[in-house]
Amino acid sequence: MGHDKLRKFAENETFSCLKQPSSEGVVLRTGEPGLHLQDHPLKGRWGADVFGNDRPIVLELGCGKGDYTVALAERFPSMNFIGVDIKGARLWKGAKYVTENKIANAAFLRTRVEFLEAFFAPGEVAEIWLTFSDPQLKSPSSRLSSPEFLRRYCRFLAPGGTVHLKTDSRFLHEYTKAVVKASDYPVLACSADVYVKGLPAGAPPAAPQQGKLPPVVTEIQTFYEKMFLAEGYPITYVAFTPCGEPAAPDFDEKFWKQAEGGRRSFSHAPHKKQ
């Protein structure tokens, strides 16, 4: 492991805004197939034990360096924000900023999104942001907007709570819309190009923009968003209310994989590894 990563991991231990529970504490080894979780002491206690208030809690899942979590926390002091990611070296940046700038309404949780039911009680979360999630072209059940993940979110999202997906991946955007449609979830807003630059020549036609986009969609840009924008990718957005059991989508994987074309995967670029 690199010296810089070790330094960040050591400094992470000093940040009170960063919770780094061991997976052994929440994943039960039962010998039975499937994931078996046990509750973490923070479950249902984030307001009282971490923020010291009962204001609404918003999660950013796969937050990376925490750009969205930090920017939302600075804009909305009457709400609490928690960035979740498994990579400690990325979380270090957000946690350091929050610590140095004494931002009381932002925190970070280092864990897998798959384990979140162990950390959040029913109704404890008001909103979820998915920002530039990996489209997981080969593994539908690993997509953070798949029925498998939406079922998990519904176990801690408050009734009427919103899921926002902002992504450069037209594939993930269209897949998510198909899940939402199959599940009959209300769509609050949707856009295939939030900056209205125009889709690239040859791109499949997009549905017209629907609903009013929250201003933060274009006001805040994450680390990955800036890289994708520099490469000329349109940025998409969809917000919906997952109420009830999610359904398998009617989605043409092959067509949309082809439409995705040679999209760059920055997470696999050696010089960008975190």
Ligand X SMILES: C[S@@+](CC[C@H](N)C(=O)[O-])C[C@H]1O[C@@H](n2cnc3c(N)ncnc32)[C@H](O)[C@@H]1O
> Does 116 help bind ligand X (rule: CB under 6 A)?
no
Residues 17-76 that bind ligand X (CB under 6 A): 62-64, 67
236-240 vs 157-167, strand pairing mode: antiparallel
> Does 224 help bind ligand X (rule: CB under 6 A)?
yes
> Does 249 help bind ligand X (rule: CB under 6 A)?
no
d(CA 239, CA 187): 6
Residue with token string 């009457």: 78
Residue 121 has φ and ψ, to the nearest 5°, of: -85, 160
Which of 101/267 has CB closer to ligand X? Answer: 267
Cβ atoms of 212 and 189 within 8 Å: the answer is yes
Q: How many residues of this chain bind ligand X (CB under 6 A)? A: 20
> Does 108 help bind ligand X (rule: CB under 6 A)?
no
> For ligand X, which residue of 11, 39, 74, 114 counts as binding (CB under 6 A)?
114
Catalytic residue among 4, 49, 134, 193: 134
Strands across the sheet containing 125-131: 18-19, 106-110, 80-85, 57-61, 125-131, 157-167, 236-240, 187-191
Cβ atoms of 206 and 48 within 8 Å: the answer is no
49 noted as active-site residue: no
Which of 207/269 has CB closer to ligand X? Answer: 269
Q: How far is the CB of 81 from ligand X (least distance, A)?
A: 13
Binding segment toward ligand X, per CB under 6 A, in 79-87, 194-202, 236-244, 253-261: 79-87
d(CA 52, CA 168): 36
**Residues lying near ligand X in the complex (CB under 6 A):** 62-64, 67, 85-87, 90, 112-114, 131-134, 222-225, 267
Q: Enumerate the active-site residues.
A: 134
